[in-house]
Amino acid sequence: MKIPFNKPYCQGKELEYIKSAMDFGHISGNGIFTQKVHAFFEQRYGYKRTFMTTSCTDAFEMAVMLMDLQPGDEVIMPSFTFVSTTNPFILKGARIVFADTLPNHPNIDLDEAEKLITMKTRVLVVMHYGGVAVDMDKAVALAKKYNLVLIEDVAHAIDSYYKGKPLGSFGHFAAFSFHETKNISCGEGGLLIINDEKYIARAEIVWEKGTNRSAFSRGEVSKYEWVDVGSSFVPSEIIAAVLCAQINMIDEIQQQRILLWERYFTNLAPLAKKGYIALDDLPDYATNNGHLFYFLMKDQQSRNLLLQYLNDHAVHAVFHYLPLHKSPYYADKHDGRMLPNTQKYTDTLIRLPMFFELTPDAVDFICGIVGQFFEEKQAGYFS
Ligand SMILES: *Cc1c(COP(=O)(O)O)cnc(C)c1O
């Protein structure tokens, strides 16, 4: 049987919680499970205010509505990220200016990003790749210096830290994803984090389709009305119930994923030492949250060969990301700059299976296949 790349984990209480939501007779949004999700993230990580959404993409759309982005405004972000980081800004007619990654890590190169700032730049988006922190002292200083809205894409970065402070607490906005490929999941779901007080009152309205329903639920107004723009960002209590079951397990889930990550790292270190593969170092200021495990090959050809070899030997491994600045949708809108580090990661990166129920034995097996590849191919492909 093939080892899958990902397997969504059900911890066992999901159905019980869904049943409770049904028994309460409240399965639309913003009931007790949604409020439990908000309380969990605000208390555990100190985020100022959180709003559960139907996806991380939606959370960014909500942020974009709140910051009143105008057509022609420029948004700087990495090209090496998922399309969800970009789309919400495009909907508002913003121009995306893609920055390269660092030479030694897939996170955005902030020195390069600074050179891209113009009078029209309104927003800086950083994405903590694999849950490994971007240098947030630098990002926050840039945002201050040029008066930019700072957004953290924390889709990979639950329960990860920069100099001891939780990721998601630095930006004016940040957004989690609870898609089934993420550490904690409810199938599809997201969370908008707002750390800047000035957006919060309006966020309640935008979240609830432009109505003051939240104030109405608290008894602050006698009827609820259409008071602003908004959209349908609130997920059902059934979704929130599933997420509640998952967050009860967060410590076990993180612990297990980090254990698997470290086992991969230890097993593959000898191959890195021989120069067959490269393993990026974790910066001193960052933690590892076991979101994904990757390594780099020398070039695209050898990467593709090893991917094929793994898949032929019952291991589902994958690559990512295809760079957004070269995508069919954006290529002719991009300003033509080459992003060589982004290209390097696109061409040479391999992600190995990583999920809660993966066993240490399976990790050993997978690493054995990688080792076997080099034994068999040693003769020709690598210097
Ligand atoms: C998964 C992911 C998203 C999108 O999450 P959705 O909840 O599917 O919208 C955004 N950014 C990154 C980096 C991701 O990995």
Q: What is the pLDDT of residues 132-142, one digit of tens each?
A: 999 999 999 99
**Ligand 1 atom index nearest CA of 181:** 1
Name residue 222's amino acid: S
Q: Evaluate: CB of 191 within 6 angstroms of ligand 1.
A: no
Among 231, 247, 263, the domain boundary falls at 247
* Same domain flag for 207 and 307: no
* Same domain flag for 114 and 20: yes
| pLDDT for residue 159 is more than 80 | yes
Q: Evaluate: CB of 55 within 6 angstroms of ligand 1.
A: yes
Q: Is residue 2 part of a domain?
A: no
Instruction: State the pLDDT confidence band at 170, using cuts at 50, 70 and 90.
Output: very high
Q: What is the pLDDT of residues 82-109, one digit of tens each?
A: 999 999 999 999 999 999 999 999 999 9
Q: Is residue 6 part of a domain?
A: no
As a dihedral over the C-alpha atoms of residue 101, residue 103, residue 166, residue 267, rounded to 10 degrees, the angle is 120
Q: Which residues pair with 190 in a beta bridge?
A: 53, 177
Question: pTM to 2 decimals?
Answer: 0.97
What is the C-alpha to C-alpha distance for residues 382 and 86, in angstroms, rounded to an integer? 37
* Same domain flag for 211 and 338: no
The pLDDT of 180-205, averaged and rounded, is 97
Q: Is residue 9 part of a domain?
A: no
Q: Is residue 383 part of a domain?
A: no
| pLDDT for residue 383 is more than 50 | no
Tokens of 240: 């929130």
| pLDDT for residue 381 is more than 70 | no
| pLDDT for residue 382 is more than 70 | no
How are beta strands 74-78 and 49-53 bridged, if at all? unpaired
Q: At what angle do helices 300-312 and 340-348 cross, to 10 degrees?
A: 30
Q: Evaluate: CB of 127 within 6 angstroms of ligand 1.
A: yes
Q: Is residue 340 part of a domain?
A: yes
Q: Is residue 5 part of a domain?
A: no
Burial (Cβ within 10 Å: 0-12, 13-18, ≥19) of residue 114: middle
Per the listing, tokens 């008894």 go with 219
Nearest to 106 by CA among 83, 89, 90, 82: 82
Q: Evaluate: CB of 86 within 6 angstroms of ligand 1.
A: no
* Same domain flag for 218 and 330: no
Residue minimizing CA distance to atom 2 of ligand 1? 155
Name residue 250's amino acid: I
Among 222, 247, 272, the domain boundary falls at 247
The pLDDT of 273-295, averaged and rounded, is 96
Nearest to 109 by CA among 81, 140, 132, 77: 77
Q: Is residue 341 part of a domain?
A: yes
> Long-range contacts made by residues 34-42, C-beta under 8 angstroms, separation at least 24?
34/234, 34/235, 34/237, 34/240, 36/240, 36/244, 37/191, 37/240, 37/243, 37/244, 37/247, 40/244, 40/247, 41/176, 41/191, 41/193
225 Cα to the center of ligand 1, angstroms: 32
| pLDDT for residue 29 is more than 60 | yes
Q: What is the pLDDT of residues 316-326, one digit of tens each?
A: 999 999 999 99
117 Cα to the center of ligand 1, angstroms: 25
Q: What is the CATH number of the domain that holds 139?
A: 3.40.640.10
* Same domain flag for 110 and 208: yes
* Same domain flag for 224 and 290: no
As a dihedral over the C-alpha atoms of residue 87, residue 93, residue 95, residue 100, rounded to 10 degrees, the angle is -10
221 Cα to the center of ligand 1, angstroms: 36
Q: What pLDDT shows up at residue 378?
A: 72
* Same domain flag for 204 and 307: no
382 Cα to the center of ligand 1, angstroms: 35
Q: Is residue 143 part of a domain?
A: yes
* Same domain flag for 140 and 217: yes
Per the listing, tokens 């971007």 go with 134
Q: Evaluate: CB of 288 within 6 angstroms of ligand 1.
A: no
- Phi/psi at 313 (nearest 5 deg)? -110, 35
Q: What pLDDT shows up at residue 380?
A: 59
Among 196, 225, 247, the domain boundary falls at 247
Q: What is the CATH number of the domain that holds 374?
A: 3.90.1150.10
* Same domain flag for 345 and 320: yes
Which of helix, strand or coil describes residue 167? coil
* Same domain flag for 172 and 226: yes
Q: What pLDDT shows up at residue 12?
A: 85
* Same domain flag for 57 and 179: yes
Supply the range of the domain harboring residue 132. Answer: 14-247
Q: What pLDDT shows up at residue 275?
A: 95
Q: Evaluate: CB of 342 within 6 angstroms of ligand 1.
A: no
31 Cα to the center of ligand 1, angstroms: 25
377 Cα to the center of ligand 1, angstroms: 36
Q: With pLDDT > 70 as the criterion, what percentage of the chain qualifies?
A: 99
Instruction: State the pLDDT confidence band at 379, using cuts at 50, 70 and 90.
Output: low
Q: Evaluate: CB of 204 within 6 angstroms of ligand 1.
A: no
Q: Evaluate: CB of 131 within 6 angstroms of ligand 1.
A: no
Domain count along the chain: 2
**Ligand 1 atom index nearest CA of 189:** 7
191 Cα to the center of ligand 1, angstroms: 11
**In this structure, are residues 377 and 310 in contact, taking their beta carbons and an 8 Å threshold?**
no
Q: Evaluate: CB of 236 within 6 angstroms of ligand 1.
A: no
* Same domain flag for 104 and 217: yes
Which stretches of the chain are DSSP H helices? 14-24, 32-45, 56-66, 87-90, 110-115, 136-145, 200-207, 213-217, 237-247, 250-273, 300-312, 340-348, 360-381
Q: What is the pLDDT of residues 245-280, one digit of tens each?
A: 999 999 999 999 999 999 999 999 999 999 999 999
Q: Evaluate: CB of 56 within 6 angstroms of ligand 1.
A: yes
